[in-house]
Amino acid sequence: MRVSLFVTCLTDLFYPDVAECVVRILHRLGQEVEFIEEQTCCGQPALNSGYMDEFKAVAGRMIRLFENAEVVVTPSGSCCSVVREYYPHAFEDDPVLHAKAVAMAGKTFEFVEFLQKKLKVDWSRWNLRCPGSATYHYSCHHRGIDMSADDVLGLIRELKGLELRPLEKMDQCCGFGGTFAVKYGDISGAMVQDKIDCVKATGARILICNDGGCTLNIAGALRRQGIDVEVKHIAQLLDAAMADGGRG
């Protein structure tokens, strides 16, 4: 299968190693990976701010860039949800672009969703070891792509030696919400404080978070308070485990 990587703005700027991990994992699983260098933003900031004309301009460009892709995979649940939920609705008044938007929505997957539901990887063929302790934050936007916490937790549990500790209020928003954090700073700050209090209570050394926005928000709050917890994307842990363990 030929996979087109939609890297997303935050991953590209702040977490390029996550994208590299995704590519290595897909290669190990026998997938051909391409990267369309002209790609930019999915349009989410404009959408969240109510600038629909600007959103449609960016979204339309993305649709044209990925029109010939066989399948599109992204390490961000929020950007995936924008493509899946909002692209088709944005172009309902344009028959040509609407059909292309529907097609892109149908072939765009979040990374874990792609592994677990599209490829249906048999992880028993791999000796995946990842010693340590971790907890997991469920990003709000995963609801928009009908991806449950169990979908990610199922993959996390494939990592042998990783002690998974339950996180109270796992599915509660961290308070980022894009422009929400700017418009309602006090509320956002209170929400992320609640989140990091729950993370700290687990005693885990790693917080698994599969969204760039949530990662920026939570990791920043942890750092400012001197809390020694690493925030990792599941791709980073899985890539290291596959490199170290190889096939069983």
**To which residue do tokens 């649940």 refer?**
77
Phi first, then psi, for residue 208 (nearest 5°) are: -90, 125
Task: Give the other-Cβ count within 10 Å of 157's Cβ.
Answer: 12
Q: Are 216 and 76 in contact (CB under 8 A)?
A: no
pLDDT by residue for the chain (248 residues), tens only, comes to 999 999 999 999 999 999 999 999 999 999 999 999 999 999 999 998 999 999 999 999 999 999 999 999 999 999 999 999 999 999 999 999 999 999 999 999 999 999 999 999 999 999 999 999 999 999 988 888 888 899 999 999 999 999 999 999 999 999 988 778 888 889 999 999 999 999 999 999 999 999 999 999 999 999 999 999 999 999 999 999 999 866 54
All CATH 3.40.50 domain ranges of the chain, comma separated, are 123-245
192 token code pair: 């992320």
Q: Where are the beta strands (DSSP E) in 52-137?
A: 71-74, 108-110, 129-137
Specify the CATH number for 123-245; select among 3.10.450, 3.40.50, 1.10.287, 1.10.3470: 3.40.50
Model pTM score: 0.94
Tell me how far apart the alpha carbons of residues 13 and 27 are, in angstroms, rounded to a whole number.
23
CB 136 within 8 A of CB 149: yes
What is d(CA 183, CA 166) in angstroms, rounded to the nearest whole number?
31
Q: 150: which 2 tokens?
A: 């169990």
Give the integer Cα–Cα distance in Å for 248 and 230: 28
